[in-house]
Amino acid sequence: QVQLVESGGGLVQPGGSLRLSCAASGSIISINRISWYRQAPGKQRELVAVITSGGTTIIYGDSVKGRFTISRGDAKNTVDLQMNSLKPEDTAVYYCSAVTVGASYWGRGTQVTVSS
């Protein structure tokens, strides 16, 4: 099994930046890809970004292209989401998800609030 823990959320002003981190533990060698999703109250869950275990394939949602960057973190078994030029509409709970052969795993989420 895989355990995921998100960190780095908080309150930031519009135009500011935050860096989220997803730390994986357990059967990490079985992870094929890690994704960031977000969900705001009253809205559908939205795919933010995807990275393969090798970091060779990266996908971004249209709403965050040019502003967010997904990458392998400096710490081993981590994936970061660098969020720049944040907007109020980026406010949501951000979730890390890992996919293996035959299973998927989710973290508890971390709240990101963009407000002036």
Residue 45 confidence class, pLDDT cut points 50, 70, 90: very high
Contacts of 110 (CB under 8 A, 6+ apart): 6, 7, 8, 9, 20, 93, 94
Residue 67 confidence class, pLDDT cut points 50, 70, 90: very high
Average per-residue pLDDT for the chain: 95
CA distance 75 to 102: 26
pLDDT at position 56: 81
How large is the C-alpha radius of gyration of the chain? 13
CA distance 82 to 84: 7
Instruction: Give the three-state DSSP class for 115.
Output: coil
